[in-house]
Chain A
């Protein structure tokens, strides 16, 4: 399904949720569970926190159903809620209050994916060290830069949509992404 068809479909589903159809909510949850949790995981870098925040996002979507109007893409609205929830969590510094932010439990998950066959211990260690660097580089970005990069890279959003999610101008997004990638290049370019 093309992006435009999916967008129309999402809005239609949400309008059905508004009309009281819970099955349409199930479909939206099924479609966006992984992208929303994944985005929040990369924002806060703790899977348990990411899932809690994602639940809050879907609950807010459900709560707001009565006032939903398909003026923007559903994903714009969804990621606007997700970004706000994440930025609020980061701003409140909840990770300082006993929440260990960087989640080591899942550190090896991607290593198993990228290494072919059965990686040697050395290969695994090298991969883990590289991933750790990536995670720390992302974590070092200010919240809005981080959100912009994650939406650009992993959600494959265009500048215009990122601007609508972050409620800023497209030129502000250009500047956010330029600075964010500049920071990342300074820290990660040696990994080539």
Chain B
């Protein structure tokens, strides 16, 4: 076989061999080559040292409240039917500034309703929903266009 260190393969077979992911026939061919090639033996020894060093690095456990925080974000996000309709209807380029502003105002007014979660005041929900409206418009490239018109 070609020497993996010197060939165009960029050491792939040695990296995969070290990871234990090389199939048996390729591994056997590489082992035969290793016998004869000090450069590859060196490469492999160093790569194995790196591999074991990385192995020792464990990620900490995920906090117990993680899922709850995801669900809370999803609930806040949960679009009511009107919002979904609004998004679909306005998913077009170049919304005029006045229309955009009017829609944001409507979004603000419509989203004003009794607090859905006890720990969250209605006003905070309203602000968040408008912020999200801005963010979504930004993502659709509409808000930046409107800003440009100012």
Contact = CB atoms under 8 A, between A and B. Distances in A.
B66 A51 contact: yes
Contacts of B99: none
B12 A159 contact: yes
A59 B49 contact: no
Given A59-B70, A62-B77, A37 B57 contact: no
B115 interface: no
B149 interface: no
B57 A134 contact: yes
B9 interface: yes
Interface string A6-50: 000000000000000000001001000110011001100001000
Interface in B50-80: 50-54, 56-63, 66-67, 69-70, 73-74, 77
Contacts of B60: 41, 47, 106, 109
Interface residues of A, number: 46
Contacts of B11: 178, 181
B46 interface: yes
Contact of A178 (B10, B54, B58): B10
Given A55-B69, A59-B70, A185 B47 contact: yes
A158 B16 CA distance: 9
Contact of A130 (B10, B53, B61, B67): B53
A34 B49 contact: no
Nearest to A47: B60
Given A37-B59, A106-B60, A192-B45, A174 B10 contact: yes
Interface of B: 9-12, 15, 19, 21, 45-54, 56-63, 66-67, 69-70, 73-74, 77
B19 A55 contact: no
A96 interface: no
A153 B49 contact: no
A71 to B, nearest CB: 21
A35 to B, nearest CB: 9
Interface string A149-192: 00011101011000000000000001101100100110011111
